């Protein structure tokens, strides 16, 4: 997924960040990746009804109670450039189950249809939880990057490094809610530029050389070490402009690592591929004026939905959702300065007064 070996290239700037440090931030989340992660957990298969919904509910619940706001991005139409990659992934999933070419085409269509149904269910759950989501015109990670770049989101929560190629400034990956160490791995675009000399266009150049979803083979024979040496050599130079200049080179003005890479790149048809470059650099989505405000969870809808989809008793759903409603109400009261009995929960009585131990005065 994404640029081949990208995460190993970016390893020098990786940071371990506790989830508590993200309090107050808004994160753009690639929903498809969460769904794929849920369906890949074998321990849940055949044991838990609809793992994608259960996982989504508890992740949203935990992050919301940590003070982290979420905006979900949903994949739109996949670019034509990605069709071959998607077809190969579908074939790999069904390899061994279907022996003939004709049988492979059936699960491919069925699998995509099933995945869209799963995404629709997730969006329905998000709607009942009051969590904003938006459909992309293309790839979800491109929309996440746009939300981040325009300051609507503070970072992107995704496993797909393509977010940086689409212009993201901060990417969080390997998200875990492990009780001992809930954390994410953080990658900052500013650190990548300072430490590795790679801006957005430089990362697109990496994709052209090493390969990506839109150009799986890249430039055959060119590896990570060669690319990093080339980037260092061309420091301060727009690498995509340099690739364009290679088209008129006969090699006499080049030397060392640049000449070695040039020779291999010139054997690749249409190098540098402008369709791939435009996919990353030309935004398809617009969302600058849109307000992504979290709404109050709708408990009745959630009780009906989760009973139908996950077989959760209404009392169990109420127990899990009430903390989210209370948090929303308290936040809304603080923001507006008003308690609205018609909207907010109204307590019947005080069961126990809370004692703030830090404020006690000891004599």
**Domain locations along the chain:** 1-287, 315-346
pLDDT in the model for residue 303? 98
Q: Are 6 and 161 in contact (CB under 8 A)?
A: yes
Most confident of 6-15, 34-43, 44-53, 251-260: 6-15
Task: Kindly report the pTM of this predicted structure.
Answer: 0.87
68-86 per-position pLDDT tens digit: 999 999 998 877 777 655 5
Question: How confident is residue 43, by pLDDT bands cut at 50, 70 and 90?
Answer: low
CA distances in angstroms from 199 to 49, 215, 329, listed in the order given: 43, 20, 42
Strand ranges (E), the chain: 15-18, 26-30, 69-74, 133-135, 155-157, 170-176, 183-188
pLDDT in the model for residue 241? 95
149-159 per-position pLDDT tens digit: 999 999 999 99
Closest CA relative to residue 192, chosen from 2, 4, 14:
14
Bridging pattern class, strands 155-157 and 26-30: parallel
d(CA 90, CA 113): 12
CATH domain 1-287 topology: Rossmann fold (3.40.50)
């Amino acid at each position: 997924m994404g640029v081949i070996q990208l995460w190993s290239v970016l390893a020098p700037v990786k940071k371990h960040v506790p989830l508590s440090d993200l309090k107050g931030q808004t994160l753009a989340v690639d929903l498809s990746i969460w769904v794929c992660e849920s369906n890949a957990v074998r321990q849940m298969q055949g044991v838990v009804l609809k793992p994608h919904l259960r996982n989504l509910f508890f992740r949203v619940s935990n992050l919301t109670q940590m003070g982290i706001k979420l905006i979900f991005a949903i994949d739109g139409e996949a670019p034509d450039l990605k069709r071959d990659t998607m077809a190969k992934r579908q074939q790999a999933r069904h390899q061994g189950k279907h022996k003939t070419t004709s049988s492979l085409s059936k699960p491919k269509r069925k699998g995509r249809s099933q995945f869209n149904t799963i995404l629709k269910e997730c969006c329905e759950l998000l709607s009942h939880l009051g969590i904003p989501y938006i459909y992309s015109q293309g790839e979800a990670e491109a929309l996440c990057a746009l939300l981040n770049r325009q300051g609507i989101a503070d970072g992107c929560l995704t496993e797909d490094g393509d977010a940086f190629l689409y212009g993201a400034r901060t990417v969080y990956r390997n998200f875990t809610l492990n009780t001992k160490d809930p954390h994410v791995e953080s990658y900052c675009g500013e650190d990548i530029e300072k430490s590795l000399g790679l801006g957005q266009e430089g990362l697109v150049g990496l994709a052209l050389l090493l390969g990506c979803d839109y150009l799986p083979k890249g430039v055959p024979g060119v590896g990570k070490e060669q690319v990093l040496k080339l980037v260092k050599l061309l420091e301060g130079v727009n690498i995509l402009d340099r690739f364009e200049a290679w088209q008129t080179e006969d090699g006499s003005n080049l030397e060392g690592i640049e000449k070695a890479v040039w020779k291999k790149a010139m054997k690749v048809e249409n190098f540098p591929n402008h369709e791939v470059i435009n996919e990353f650099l030309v935004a398809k989505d617009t969302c600058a004026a849109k307000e992504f405000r979290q709404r109050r969870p709708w408990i009745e809808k959630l009780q009906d939905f989760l009973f139908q989809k996950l077989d959760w008793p209404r009392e169990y759903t109420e127990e899990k959702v009430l903390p989210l409603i209370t948090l929303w109400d308290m936040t809304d009261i603080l923001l507006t300065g008003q308690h609205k009995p018609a909207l907010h929960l109204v307590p019947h009585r005080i069961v126990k007064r809370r004692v703030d131990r830090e404020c006690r005065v000891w004599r």
